[in-house]
């Protein structure tokens, strides 16, 4: 088999060395191609190639020179435009900065923010590589953002200042209440309300929210609770409420229920801060007045309810006043009376009697009996009440009980006669002493206005 292969290889080699020439056949009807021109050879061809290379080189050099010149010119123009753009942008930055820094000249934080913005913008301008980058720097927007930052900072400062002011105000508002002897439940409620209000202020995000925090409703209720507690703890059936009305101090007596209604009707806690709750303590004092300053004086009697006014103002100085006594002056008790009488009697005796008393009564009488049995008598009385009272006190009268009986209620009867007869017994300018029972709180006002007092009787 190996021999067959070798023999085959040998034959193939022989066939390769001897290839029979085959004459090509020309296709019918096909034109002949023109013969190719012989390439130039030798010196002429080399020179021609050299001239072509030189021409091409010169052309390339010219193109390069023109291109470099054009590029240099364009670069020069671009650099000039870039510099002009940068200068213009820097001027714009400086103008904005100067405008706003003048506006915020007294604000250190604002000046710092504006300077920082200016430096950042100038750095961007300096780093710009072309005019497009320079134009892209928005100076107005940058300073607008700076102003917003300043405004936010100023608002935060104002917000904090407002919070501090409102917190201080609320604490001041609660001090007068918390300084009082509050019951435990009212004090605990006050502390809860104060803590809640302070927390609400601290959590507020806007100035409007802070200013909307109002402690008035809470303090109004707390003051009402406190005063109601005081009213309940007064031991007397009635209480005195004292409060300020402008520059004037007013006092009124109420039942406990009515006093609470007055307190609950209040709409402003600041008015309740002036209220005082006091027990009613009654005292008796004497008031010396002329008759013309006692309205309806003719119907005064023990137990009469009166109101005392002052001519200085239109409001009452004292109510819940009861008349205990009325002391008439001694001039109202001077009595002078003459009486004559005639009568008939039997008998032959003549009666004549004269007696005098240096203390109380002087009485003279005479009787004459004539043939006609007629009798005439005349009497003269002169009674001085002050002397009678002194005689009674000194036990100098023969029958003091009878005299006391006659004088009992004399003054009231005298005033009743004025009422019943319509005749004035006591002169209007005569001083009358009223002994009255009234709450002690009214006494200072009465003493301060004793020359201008008027008394009015309460009628049903």
pLDDT score, position 387: 76
Q: Average of pLDDT values for 226-244? A: 92
Angle formed at CA 353 by CA 347 and CA 354, multiple of 5 degrees: 165
pLDDT score, position 131: 85
Across 136-150, 186-200, 372-386, least confident range: 372-386
Q: For 409, how many CA atoms within 13 A lie in the half-sphere containing its CB? A: 7
Residue 456 reports pLDDT greater than 50: yes
Instruction: Look up residue 310 and give its two tokens.
Output: 């002052």
Question: What are the tens digits of pLDDT across the range 332-361?
Answer: 545 544 444 444 343 333 333 333 333 334
pLDDT score, position 392: 77
pLDDT score, position 245: 84
* Domain ranges, ordered by start, for the chain: 86-180, 282-329+426-460, 330-343+353-365+375-421
Residue 396 reports pLDDT greater than 90: no
Instruction: Look up residue 322 and give its two tokens.
Output: 């009861």
pLDDT score, position 41: 55
Residue 54 reports pLDDT greater than 90: no
- pLDDT higher for 52 or 35? 52
pLDDT score, position 200: 95
Distances (CA, A) of 173 to 48, 191, 215, 276, 407: 114, 12, 8, 18, 65
pLDDT score, position 318: 86
Q: pLDDT band at residue 144, thresholds of 50, 70 and 90?
A: very high
Q: Are 51 and 59 in contact (CB under 8 A)?
A: no
CB atoms within 10 A of CB 312: 12
Q: pLDDT band at residue 251, thresholds of 50, 70 and 90?
A: confident
pLDDT score, position 63: 84
Q: pLDDT band at residue 29, thresholds of 50, 70 and 90?
A: low
Q: pLDDT band at residue 171, thresholds of 50, 70 and 90?
A: very high
The mean predicted confidence, pLDDT, of the chain is 79
Question: What are the tens digits of pLDDT across the range 75-96?
Answer: 565 677 778 888 888 899 999 9
Of residues 283, 284, 280, 282, the one with CA closest to residue 238: 280
The set of residues, in sequence order, having a beta carbon less than 8 Å from that of 460 and lying 6+ positions away, is: none
Q: pLDDT band at residue 2, thresholds of 50, 70 and 90?
A: low
């Amino acid at each position: 088999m190996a021999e067959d292969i070798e023999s085959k290889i040998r034959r193939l080699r022989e066939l390769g060395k001897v290839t029979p020439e085959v004459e090509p056949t020309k296709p019918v009807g096909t034109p002949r191609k023109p013969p190719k021109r012989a390439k130039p050879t030798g010196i002429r061809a080399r020179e021609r190639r050299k001239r072509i290379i030189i021409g091409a080189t010169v052309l390339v050099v010219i193109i390069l020179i023109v291109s470099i010149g054009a590029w240099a010119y364009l670069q020069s123009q671009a650099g000039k435009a870039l510099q002009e753009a940068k200068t213009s942008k820097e001027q714009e930055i400086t103008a904005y900065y100067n405008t706003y820094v003048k506006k915020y000249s007294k604000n250190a934080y604002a000046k710092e923010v504006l300077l920082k913005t200016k430096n950042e913008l100038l750095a961007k301008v300096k780093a710009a590589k072309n005019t497009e980058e320079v134009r892209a720097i928005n100076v107005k927007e940058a300073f607008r953002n700076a102003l917003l930052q300043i405004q936010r900072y100023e608002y935060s400062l104002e917000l904090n200042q407002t919070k501090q002011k409102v917190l201080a105000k609320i604490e001041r508002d609660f001090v007068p209440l918390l300084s009082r002897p509050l019951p435990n439940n009212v004090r605990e409620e006050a502390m809860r309300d104060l803590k809640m209000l302070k927390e609400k202020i601290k959590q507020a995000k806007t100035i409007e929210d802070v200013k909307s925090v109002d402690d008035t409703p809470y303090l109004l209720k707390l003051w009402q609770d406190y005063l109601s507690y005081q009213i309940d703890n007064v031991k007397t059936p009635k209480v005195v409420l004292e409060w300020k009305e402008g520059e004037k101090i007013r006092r009124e007596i109420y039942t406990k229920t009515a006093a609470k209604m007055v307190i609950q009707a209040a709409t402003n806690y600041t008015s309740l801060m002036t209220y005082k709750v006091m027990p009613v303590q009654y005292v008796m004092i004497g008031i010396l007045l002329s008759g013309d300053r006692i309205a309806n004086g003719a119907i005064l009697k023990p137990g009469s309810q009166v109101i005392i006014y002052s001519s200085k103002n239109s409001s009452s100085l004292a109510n819940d006043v009861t008349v205990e006594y009325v002391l008439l002056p001694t001039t109202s008790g001077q009595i002078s009376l003459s009486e004559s009488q005639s009568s008939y009697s039997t008998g032959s005796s003549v009666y004549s009697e004269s007696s005098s008393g240096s203390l109380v009564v002087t009485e003279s009488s005479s009787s004459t009996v004539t043939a006609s049995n007629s009798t005439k008598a005349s009497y003269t009385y002169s009674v001085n009440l002050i002397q009678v009272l002194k005689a009674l006190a000194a036990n100098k009268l023969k029958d003091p009980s009878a005299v006391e009986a006659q004088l009992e209620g004399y003054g009231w009867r005298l005033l009743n006669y004025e009422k019943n007869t319509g005749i004035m017994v006591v002169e209007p300018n005569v001083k009358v002493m009223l002994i009255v029972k009234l709450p002690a709180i009214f006494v200072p006002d009465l003493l301060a206005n004793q020359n201008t007092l008027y008394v009015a009787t309460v009628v049903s």
